[in-house]
Amino acid sequence: MALALIYLVQQFFYRLIEFLRHWYVKSIRIYSNFVLNKLERLDYYLAWEITLKNLFKPLYKDYTFLGFVLGFIFRLLRLFVGGVIYGIVFLAAVAFYLVWLLLPVVLVFKVLAP
């Protein structure tokens, strides 16, 4: 009987540690890959790096003064809007992950607190 009780206690702590490792260690890898893939797909539409590379080039290869000025202004606005969108998506992803991390703690306190 004592061996069965020791086995159950060992299994309890083993499962608890495995749960915590899965929830906190493995989930960051899975979620970060998910977020990076979504940001890469978003970059397909926003093309932030390409826009930055062509910031000082004229718009539609119009090498007049107006082409240079409008190209710079439009690309700068596009970089700003893209940066804001990237920032919002990134902050939303971080907020969601923080909620994910705090979920077990909150549930344990809800169960244990009177």
Total number of domains constituting the chain: 1
List, in order, residues 6 or more apart from 66 with CB less than 8 Å away.
Answer: none
Q: Which of 11, 13, 24, 18 is nearest to 105 (CA)?
A: 24
**Enclosing domain of residue 46:** 2-112
Contact predicate 42/85, CB 8 Å: yes
**Residue 59's pLDDT is what?**
84
Over 80: is that where the pLDDT of 1 sits? no
pLDDT tens-digit profile of 55-114?
888 888 888 888 889 989 999 999 999 999 999 999 999 999 999 999 999 998 999 886
SS3 41: helix
Tokens of 101: 């991390």
pLDDT at position 2 over 90: no
pTM score over 0.95: no
Q: What phi, psi does 58 have (nearest 5°)?
A: -70, 155
Closest CA to 78 of 50, 57, 58: 50
Residue-wise pLDDT for 7-54, tens only, equals 999 999 999 999 999 989 999 999 999 999 999 999 999 888 898 898
